């Protein structure tokens, strides 16, 4: 008989010995799929994407037309060295270790401004993945001005403590006046196609016509995207949160930490669109004095304040904080990559979800050399960054399949994308893009966002429908014309017989009939 092994039961005390804090880097090292490092092909794309997105953000923040160079070299079996260099403002020496060797460290998380990055995880996560898979440090060279030397750093992340470890730190001679170069060696796989680095850079060029990209792939090929526009997009404005979007817990925290003494100053100072008059109205509704000390507001009073905020009419957030690409540049961008016969674009007015302003843009390219047999292709962008994975989990996809494309003359099965030689591009621009995960691959299904995307798609769809109807009418008229033309000589011959015409007169009659057909309005 099998002997029963004695089960050791845990007690609160034995469990207590095992309970300890988990560092954010340990968590993400175990859950690297949440950051986009779940397979070697995607890992390569994610590493390049994080570095390029940072470069573009930094250049735009500094008002510099971005020039980015990406080099990927094969260093062994399933090993690659990724190097990304920009002409941005550079990074001051003291910040380099924290930026690259610490998760959740960045300049964008605490501000509501439209940017590609928002979480403060991206580049350090890419470095951490490189370190875990190859044991190699991340290398950074950064120069902030031609008058100062460049700094060279080798940094590793200490995952147990979520702290940077500096392996090397030196001054260095470089041939560029200003900018940052980041190098990561990692386990990865290089493949071409839509979900690859090549696809990501091609799509980046569509949504960022002001950027010049030079890319050398692992096969040594040089791919260049010259900028199509010499003007920088307008700089997005920084905004304060809108009171409608703030949750109760956040409101309580803000009240505690506020430096504004009175409740009225707190409301007007911490939020956008709260004028002294609106603040007075909120306080009155919440039965609180405008002069009460904001840091001493009790829990129940905060409840009342929260309810009063949501019951008061407050102007929508300002819209100059979300900068669209623009209809003309969307069409230009699509035309650069797709040779189609029809282009259309639509930029929607700003709207709000959870208090955050956002703006939707849509572009379509139809016909030409785009393959006609398959389903339409959807290109998704969030704050000008192409999204390449998790298509079916994304609000953009949901809006595209729930739009009725049949009414615009296309074939469509229920719950699917339309058939036809169609490329649909959708750009969601916002001060805070609600991604479904830290890997920033899909946009959450907020009803306000879905509605706006649908409206943009419908506007482009209606114009496409008109184009297709016109095209069909022209094609039908052409068939009729060819048909009638075929009978003209027979008609002339019959008339010649009846009227005893000479050959010359018969020929003239034939020409005349052809002219009448050609000039007939219907054909």
Ligand X SMILES: Nc1ncnc2c1ncn2[C@@H]1O[C@H](COP(=O)(O)OP(=O)(O)OP(=O)(O)O)[C@@H](O)[C@H]1O
Interacting residue ranges for ligand X, rule: CB under 6 A: 50, 54-55, 58, 86, 88-89, 91, 99, 106-108, 117-124, 180
Closer residue to ligand X, CB minimum distance, 117 or 236:
117
For residue 386, the partner it binds in Mg ion, ligand X, none, with Cβ less than 5 to 8 A by kind, is none
Residue number of the CB atom closest to Mg ion: 117
- CB of 54 or CB of 430, closer to ligand X: 54
Q: Give the count of beta carbons closer than 10 Å to the beta carbon of residue 478.
A: 11
Q: Which is nearer to ligand X, 140 or 376 (by Cβ)? A: 140
Min separation Cβ 53 and Mg ion, Å: 5
Q: 36 or 357, CB closer to Mg ion? A: 36
146 by DSSP, 3-state: which? coil
**d(C-alpha 43, C-alpha 77), whole Å:** 15
Which residues 467-496 are close enough to bind Mg ion by CB under 5 A?
Answer: none
Tell me the two tokens of residue 331: 């069409």
Residue 60 CB, shortest distance to ligand X, in Å, is 11
From 25, 46, 54, 196, residue interacting with Mg ion (rule: CB under 5 A) = 54
Task: Between 120 and 245, name the residue whose CB sits nearer to ligand X.
Answer: 120
Is 217 one of the binding residues for Mg ion (CB under 5 A)? no
d(CA 416, CA 405): 10
Identity of the residue, 69 or 344, whose beta carbon is nearer to ligand X in the bound complex: 69
Strand partners, 158: 163
Return the SS3 of 418: strand
Nearest 5 degrees, angle CA 150-CA 151-CA 156?
150
What is the three-class DSSP state of 305?
helix
- Listed in sequence order, the residues at least 6 apart from 149 whose beta carbon sits closer than 8 Å to its beta carbon are 143, 171, 172, 173
Nearest to 242 by CA among 251, 234, 233: 251
| Minimum distance from residue 462 beta carbon to Mg ion (Å) | 38
Q: How far is the CB of 97 from ligand X (least distance, A)?
A: 11
Q: Long-range contacts of range 5-8, CB-CB < 8 Å, 24 or more positions apart? A: none
Could you tell me which of 41, 159, 144 has the C-alpha nearest to residue 95?
144
- What does DSSP say about strands 212-216 and 222-225: parallel, antiparallel, or unpaired? antiparallel
Least Å from the CB of residue 24 to ligand X: 12
384 vs 398 by CB, closer to ligand X: 384
CA distance 108 to 383: 13
Round the CA-based radius of gyration of the chain to a whole number and report it. 31
| Near Mg ion in 240-299, by CB under 5 A | none
User: Strand 212-216 vs strand 385-387: parallel, antiparallel, or unpaired?
Assistant: unpaired
**Shortest separation between residue 456's beta carbon and ligand X, angstroms:** 25
Residue 120 binding result from Mg ion, ligand X, none, given CB thresholds of 5 to 8 Å by partner type: ligand X
> Using CB distances below 5 to 8 A depending on partner kind, what does residue 263 bind out of Mg ion, ligand X, none?
none
Interaction of residue 46 with Mg ion, rule CB under 5 A: no
Work out how close the CB of 39 gets to ligand X at its nearest, in angstroms, rounded to a whole number.
20
Q: Binding to Mg ion by residue 122, rule CB under 5 A?
A: yes
Cα angle, residue 137 at apex, residues 132 and 141 outer, rounded to 5°: 140
Output 109 or 487, the one with its CB closest to ligand X.
109
Query: C-beta of 136: minimal distance to ligand X in Å?
Result: 18
Residue 39, Cβ neighbours under 10 Å: how many? 11
Out of 36, 90, 97, 117, the only residue in the binding site for Mg ion (CB under 5 A) is 117
Sites of contact with Mg ion (CB under 5 A): 54, 117, 122
């Amino acid at each position: 008989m099998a002997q029963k092994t004695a089960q050791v039961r845990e007690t609160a005390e034995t469990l207590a010995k095992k309970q300890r804090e988990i560092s954010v880097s340990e968590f993400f090292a175990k859950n690297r799929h949440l950051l986009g490092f779940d397979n070697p092909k995607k890992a390569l794309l994610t590493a390049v994407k994080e570095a390029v997105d940072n470069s573009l953000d930094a250049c735009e923040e500094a008002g510099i037309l971005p020039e980015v160079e990406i080099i990927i070299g094969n260093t062994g079996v399933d090993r690659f060295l990724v190097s990304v260099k920009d002409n941005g403002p550079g990074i001051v020496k003291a910040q380099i270790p924290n930026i690259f060797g610490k998760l959740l460290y960045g300049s964008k998380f605490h501000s509501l401004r439209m940017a590609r990055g928002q979480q403060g995880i991206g580049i350090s996560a890419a470095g951490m993945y490189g370190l875990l898979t190859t044991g190699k440090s991340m290398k950074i060279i950064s120069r902030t001005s031609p008058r100062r030397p460049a700094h060279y750093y080798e940094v590793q992340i200490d995952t147990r403590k979520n702290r940077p470890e500096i392996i090397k730190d030196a001054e260095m001679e470089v041939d560029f006046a200003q900018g940052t170069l980041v190098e990561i060696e990692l386990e990865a796989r290089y493949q071409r196609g839509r979900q690859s680095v090549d696809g990501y850079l091609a799509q980046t060029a569509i949504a960022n016509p002001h950027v010049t990209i030079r890319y050398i792939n692992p096969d040594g090929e040089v791919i260049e995207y010259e900028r199509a526009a010499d003007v920088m997009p307008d700089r997005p404005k920084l905004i304060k949160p809108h009171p409608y979007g703030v949750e109760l817990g956040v409101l309580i925290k803000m009240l505690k930490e506020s430096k504004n003494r009175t409740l009225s100053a707190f409301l007007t100072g911490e939020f956008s669109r709260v004028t002294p008059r609106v603040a007075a109205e909120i306080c009155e509704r919440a039965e609180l004095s405008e002069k009460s000390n904001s840091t001493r507001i009790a829990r129940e009073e905060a409840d009342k304040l929260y309810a009063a905020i949501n019951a008061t009419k407050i102007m929508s957030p300002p819209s100059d904080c979300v900068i669209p690409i623009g209809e003309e540049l969307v069409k230009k961008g699509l035309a650069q990559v797709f040779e189609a016969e029809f282009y259309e674009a639509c930029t929607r007015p700003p709207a709000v979800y959870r208090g955050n302003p956002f703006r939707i843009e849509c572009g379509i390219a139809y016909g030409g050399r785009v393959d006609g047999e398959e389903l339409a292709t959807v290109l998704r962008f969030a704050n000008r960054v192409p999204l390449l994975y998790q298509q079916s989990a994304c609000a953009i996809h949901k809006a595209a399949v729930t739009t009725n494309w049949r009414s615009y003359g296309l074939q469509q099965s229920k719950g699917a994308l339309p058939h036809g030689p169609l490329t649909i591009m959708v750009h969601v621009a916002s001060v805070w893009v609600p991604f479904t995960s830290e890997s920033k691959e899909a946009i959450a299904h907020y009803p306000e966002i879905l509605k706006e995307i649908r409206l943009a798609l419908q506007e482009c769809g209606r114009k496409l429908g008109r184009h297709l109807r016109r095209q069909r009418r022209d094609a039908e008229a052409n068939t009729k014309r060819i048909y009638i033309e075929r009978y003209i000589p027979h008609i002339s011959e019959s008339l010649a017989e009846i009227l005893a015409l000479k050959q010359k007169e018969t020929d003239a009659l034939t020409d005349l009939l052809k002219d009448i057909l050609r000039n007939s309005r219907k054909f």
